[in-house]
Structure 1
Amino acid sequence: MAAPIDRSTRRLIAAFRYAFRGIGHLVHTQRNFQIHLLIGAIAVSLGVVLRIDRWEWLVLTLTIGLVLAAEGFNTAVEAVVDLVTREHHPLARIAKDVAAGTVLLCAITAVVVGVLLFGPRLWKLLTLLMT
């Protein structure tokens, strides 16, 4: 018979279950998260095809994670604000706008990273195909 699982281990397992449930919610209900996930998958595929090096993988992975995490926080902020009030309130608007703006900043950063990582390689490939 297996040893019983102690309380702290049960709490840890529950915490992971809640976290995966949250990720599942993002994947299944949040269109913008789905779009960012698709773009991230395309970027990873491009990284494989273009054979980016270890440091570039690090930058790409962190950038994709940053955008997805920002989208998750944005969704959480929107849910909490909607829970507190459905009325138009200046503070509710600020909270939602700042959260959305943060996602936009992360997405713009991701585009810049993508151009810096993939631009020279794609340009080189394009010039080879044109000659």
Structure 2
Amino acid sequence: MKLNESSISSERAEFIPDSDSSTQSLKACTKAVKHNRELSWQVASSLAISFKFAWAGLSYAFETQRNFRIHTVIGTLAIVLSIFLHLKPVEISVIGLTIGLVLALELLNTAIESVVDLTVQQTYHDLARIAKDCAAGSVLVSAMVSALVAATLLLPPLLALIQPVISH
């Protein structure tokens, strides 16, 4: 991607994809990233703009990353089930923390993959593979731990709820 030269002197810059770049990730990036964002290397001028950029990152991940959407839906269902089963507030908090960890690591995984893709420019490199695999592995570990925590906290009250129905 290159910077539109006429916008360098202005407060905002417009990013235009190179004509020879037609990969799926570039298309997704171009579609999801809003044009006229302040130059990315500048410090946000206010807290509101910082939150706006953070929201843009969340929106990008939700729009382009299937696994982020899956984790969001499963996490939401786990919280709803926790409330329905009247878990203690501390138990709901533990489930919420593990969901937050999974989503945060999914965001970091997306960021690492984007930077690696930018760096290697669609060429293969073992170090790029290692970076991407390790980032994905961190999401897998956190998702497995989150599933274990959810099973430990949700299964006993869920089984107690459905046990009378099953035994009839």
Common fold: TM-score over 0.5 = yes
Q: How many pairs does the alignment contain?
A: 124
State the match for 1:95 in structure 2: 131
Structure 2 partner of 1:121 = 157
Report the TM-score when normalising by structure 1.
0.89
Q: Point out which structure has higher relative CO (alpha carbons under 8 A, 6+ apart).
A: 1
Deviations 1:103-128 (A, max 9, x none): 00000001101110111111212212
Deviations 1:63-115 (A, max 9, x none): 11001001000000000000001211011001000000000000000110111
Q: How high is the sequence identity, in percent, across the aligned residues?
A: 44
Give the TM-score taking structure 2 as reference length.
0.70
Runs of 4+ in 1 over 4 A off after TM superposition: none
The superposition leaves residues 7-38 of structure 1 with CA deviations (integer Å, 9 ceiling, x where unpaired) of x9933222111111001101111100000000
Structure 1 position 42 matched with structure 2 position 81: no
Unaligned residue ranges in structure 2 (runs of 5+): 1-42
Name stretches of at least 5 consecutive residues in structure 1 with no aligned partner: 1-7
CA RMSD for the aligned pairs?
1.5
- Which of structures 1 and 2 has the bigger CA Rg? 2
- Tell me which moved more, 92-101 or 49-58: 49-58
**1:24 partnered with 2:59:** yes
